[in-house]
Amino acid sequence: MIELSGEDGPSWQMGFAGDTFNTAWCMRALLHPDTPVDFVTAFGDDDFSARQLAFFEQNRIGTSSSPTLPGSRPGLYAITLEGAERSFTYWRSDSAARRLAEDEVALAASLRDRSMIYLSGITLAILEQADRHRLIGALEAARGTGTLIAFDPNYRPRLWPSKTEAQQAITAMLDVTDIALPTFPDEADLQSDRTPSDTATRLADAGIAEIVVKDGTEPALVQHDGATNFVPAVKVDNPVDTTGAGDSFSGAYLSARCLGDDPVTAALKAHRVAAAVVQVFGALAPVATLRNAFDDQTAKPA
């Protein structure tokens, strides 16, 4: 999506971001340069879409077989800040990304031969039901060939026609998920979970082997191979912008797992990266900031 941020009177700064793209950005920064990182979506054919594609290419993020749709355009959102907390205003009802799963052949080509695929509940929410089913089917096929599926439910009520539809779609997605990265307040809202342990138990009962329940500045619950650990966050005295913190946590966690770290070590690194992200403005922290935080073993937990 196009991101408008940094309001200064009538002027705004334009960039590109969005929850899954923020995660891809983080993974691109942290993984080896020869490791391919692709962002699968659909693009318009307007000037802003051309700028998106140029930005992706400049930053070595591929787009695989993502289709270009004549007459379409990107979604748009604006960030407003009150202290370090942010709020969003969206314009995306006719964005190209809502049609990313229409072309079954292109979608299958984009998902083929991947070691890992990551998506979020926002991905599901913006799709029509038929496209949502098509996407989950394509993910199930990819998983059947050995691809790991990572999923953040990322529940945003305003994007769903009803809570019931959100629950049904997310439950269907969890059936093909290997690594779940939920955020506890979202799960409390959507599923009425009372504690992060409730969330982990519910997901484990659904057959998910690796679970990381994020909870802001509280410890993350990491459950894997029958072990449960609470991994403390990193204390930040003066956060300036929480945009993209959870997405970057997910990107750092998945990067660490791809690089061979165990889940607890991966969560420690993810907390360090998230703490660094809330100390800069905007969703996409500089690459050096992400890398330094990922490797910094001196950061103190909260």
Q: Which of 38, 241, 247, 296 is catalytic?
A: 247
**Residue 2 and residue 73: Cα distance in Å, rounded?**
10
- Determine the longest span between alpha carbons in the chain, in angstroms: 54
H runs (alpha helix) in 16-66: 19-30, 47-58
Q: Please report which helix (H) or strand (E) contains residue 106, including its range.
A: helix 104-111
Q: Is 247 among the catalytic positions?
A: yes
Tokens of 289: 């900031």
Name residues whose C-beta falls within 8 Å of residue 152's C-beta, 6 or more positions apart in sequence.
19, 23, 118, 119, 120, 121, 180, 181, 182, 183, 246, 250
Alpha-carbon distance 192 to 184, whole Å?
10
Q: Count other C-beta atoms under 10 Å from residue 128's C-beta.
A: 12
- Residues catalogued as catalytic: 247
